Amino acid sequence: MAKGYWVSVYPAISDPERLTAYFKLAGPAVRAGGGRTLSRGGRVVAHEAGITQRVVLIEFDSFEQAVAAYESEAYQKALVALPDGFERDFRIIEGID
């Protein structure tokens, strides 16, 4: 079975400290949904149209598990806590089996 991944790229974060409430809720929600954080804002080398801002990669045992974690009540509460003043490109993708 192919794994599922959450890929988040943050092109603009005007006030990183305001994301604290989101992080406090999102972390436990992701773990409860079976997610494992593989990368969270480490070093980035961007090529072509890439950006060097924060990138987060989370792995799930399946694509369906990744979708279910996003749709969970716990993660939806975390999304409500996202502040204004930032931009995020978020995708759920299926890995290669």
Tokens of 53: 């801002």
Which tens digit of pLDDT belongs to each residue from 61-96? 999 999 999 999 999 999 888 877 778 889 999 999
CA distances from 68 to 4, 14, 54 (A): 11, 30, 24
| Cβ-contact 7, 50 below 8 angstroms | no
Which tens digit of pLDDT belongs to each residue from 15-25? 777 778 888 99
| Cβ-contact 23, 88 below 8 angstroms | no
60-82 as b/e: b if 16+ CB within 10 A: beebebbbebbeeeebeebeeee
At residue 77, the pLDDT reads: 92
Instruction: Work out the burial of residue 52: count CB atoms within 10 Å of its CB; fewer than 13 is exposed, 13-18 middle, 19 or more buried.
Output: exposed
Write down the pTM of the prediction: 0.88
Which tens digit of pLDDT belongs to each residue from 34-50? 999 999 878 888 888 87
